[in-house]
């Protein structure tokens, strides 16, 4: 088996009485063994749908997919043996203790009590919740609960772990802590496929990623490769009055800046001479009585990549739970 996951021309449509929703639209990609691979995309992009296909929980409308070397349709049982899946909503029973939750997972995987006990010991140390084993799940913090759920998902030592938005709802500190643990699992040889709508998460955690939008692949590569696609520095301005947009456009036009994206609230322009242009913008807006709400200069982030490729901010389509 050379690739942990391979997907060829995969499509998936949900059909109900009234309509057909194409959630995944002819995507192809591979995931190497032992890497953290991410799907970054806004709400409704098709991230969960793809993961549910690869974890054998949903059928394929068209195309083919292999996980751990097995066909997800014709060899679903073998696929399930080799994967762990921690879904978007989490699944630990609030009224069980942490140890009981893990023992139940062990039973579901048909492991002997001894093997389960050994792995609970090992994973609770690795994921840093050994002191919490006798606590009720309902008393855990969000970050602690996620770590227990991940342990449930990998108690049978799968080759490939699927995590659907593992850090949604966690505060930044807990999020960074979970990234560290996910990297530890990767360093121990596991392949990890996660979905996220957090740019920082995709950037910090992924060895490679795909930007997904409307069921289609928008871009693919390492975070560094993707950021290199957007040349120069990014200047974002937010206008107080949208009537000033035309004046700003004229100004950029005069300076022969064509690498510019207009958003609902202003502009993002890309230029090799960031600081110089910032000074010019200040001068021009002052002289022309244009009020700015915000002006920022930054080296391109994955948000700029998304913006450059789709013409919209990833945050617009994301969820309102950034903390």
Q: Which residues bind ligand ATP (CB under 6 A)?
A: 14, 21, 23, 41, 43-49, 88, 197
* Distant-in-sequence, close-in-space partners of 166: CB < 8 Å, separation ≥ 6: 86, 146, 150, 178, 182, 194, 196
The site that binds Mg ion (CB under 5 A) totals a number of residues, namely 2
Choice between 164 and 304, CB closer to ligand ATP: 164
When binding is defined by CB under 5 A, the residue of 48, 82, 116, 310 that contacts Mg ion is 48
Q: How far is CA 210 from CA 29, 199, 261, in A?
A: 9, 12, 22
> What is the β-pairing status of strands 233-239 and 191-196?
unpaired
Contacted by 299, from ligand ATP, Mg ion, none: CB < 5 to 8 Å by type: none
Least gap, CB of 21 to ligand ATP (angstroms): 4
In this chain, which stretch among 47-55, 78-86, 91-99, 302-310 interacts with Mg ion, using CB under 5 A? Answer: 47-55
With beta carbons less than 8 A apart as the criterion, state whether 51 and 195 touch.
Answer: yes
Nearer Cβ to ligand ATP (44/69): 44
Residue 63 region by backbone torsions, left for phi larger than 0, else alpha for psi between -120 and 50, else beta: left
Contact 203, 44 (CB under 8 A): no
Give the other-Cβ count within 10 Å of 44's Cβ. 14
Q: Considering the rule CB under 5 A, would residue 50 count as an interface residue with Mg ion?
A: no
Q: Could you give the CA distance from residue 63 to residue 28 in angstroms, rounded to a whole number?
A: 9
**Residue span binding Mg ion (CB under 5 A) among the ranges 39-47, 198-206, 241-249, 255-263:** 39-47
**41 or 158: CB nearest ligand ATP:** 41
Please state the closest distance from residue 293 (CB atom) to ligand ATP, in A: 28
Q: Provide, rounded to whole angstroms, the least separation between the CB of residue 45 and Mg ion.
A: 8
* Residue partners of 8: CB distance under 8 A and separation at least 6: 28, 63, 64, 65
Q: How far is CA 153 from the centre of its chain?
A: 18
Q: Which stretch binds Mg ion (CB under 5 A): 24-32, 44-52, 183-191, 292-300?
A: 44-52
Contact partner, 43, from Mg ion, ligand ATP, none, Cβ < 5-8 Å per class: ligand ATP
Cβ proximity of 314 and 218 under 8 Å: no
Q: Which is nearer to Mg ion, 47 or 186 (CB)?
A: 47
Q: Which is nearer to Mg ion, 165 or 313 (CB)?
A: 165
Tokens for 267, please give them: 């502009």
Provide the 10 A C-beta neighbour count for residue 175. Answer: 22
Nearer to Mg ion, 56 or 196 (CB): 196
How far lies 297's CA from each of 33, 86, 237, 313, 323, in Å? 38, 38, 9, 16, 23
Q: How far is the CB of 18 from ligand ATP (least distance, A)?
A: 10
Question: Residue 293 binds which entry of Mg ion, ligand ATP, none, with Cβ cut-offs from 5 to 8 Å by kind?
Answer: none
Instruction: Write out the residues near Mg ion by the rule CB under 5 A.
Output: 47-48
């Amino acid at each position: 088996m050379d690739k942990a996951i391979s997907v060829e021309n995969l499509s998936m449509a949900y059909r109900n009485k009234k309509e057909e929703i194409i959630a995944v639209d002819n995507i192809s990609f591979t995931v190497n063994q032992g890497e953290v691979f991410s799907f970054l995309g806004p709400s409704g992009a098709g991230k969960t749908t793809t993961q549910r296909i690869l974890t054998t929980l949903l059928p394929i409308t068209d195309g083919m997919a292999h996980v751990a070397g097995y066909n997800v349709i014709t060899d679903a049982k073998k696929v399930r043996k080799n994967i762990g899946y921690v879904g978007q909503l989490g699944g630990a029973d609030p009224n069980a203790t942490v140890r009981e939750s893990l023992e139940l997972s062990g039973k579901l995987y048909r492991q002997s009590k001894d093997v389960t006990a050994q792995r609970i010991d090992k994973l609770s140390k690795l994921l840093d919740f050994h002191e919490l084993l006798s606590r009720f799940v309902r008393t855990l913090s969000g970050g602690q609960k996620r770590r227990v759920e991940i342990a449930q998902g990998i108690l049978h030592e799968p080759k490939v772990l699927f995590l659907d938005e593992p850090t949604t709802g966690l505060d930044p500190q807990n999020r960074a802590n979970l990234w560290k643990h996910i990297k530890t699992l990767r360093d121990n040889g596991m392949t990890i496929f996660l979905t996220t709508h957090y740019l920082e998460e995709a950037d910090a955690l992924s060895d490679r990623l795909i930007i997904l939008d409307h069921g289609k692949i928008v871009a693919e590569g390492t975070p560094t490769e993707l950021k290199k696609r957007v040349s120069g520095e990014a200047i974002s301005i937010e206008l107080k009055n949208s009537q000033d947009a035309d004046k700003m456009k004229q100004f950029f036009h005069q300076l022969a800046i064509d690498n510019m994206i207009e958003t609902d609230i202003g502009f993002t322009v890309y230029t090799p001479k960031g600081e110089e242009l910032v000074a010019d913008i200040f001068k021009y807006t002052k002289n022309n009585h244009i009020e700015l709400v915000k002006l920022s200069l930054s080296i391109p982030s994955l948000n700029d990549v998304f913006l450059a490729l789709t013409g919209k901010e990833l945050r617009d389509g994301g969820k309102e739970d950034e903390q």
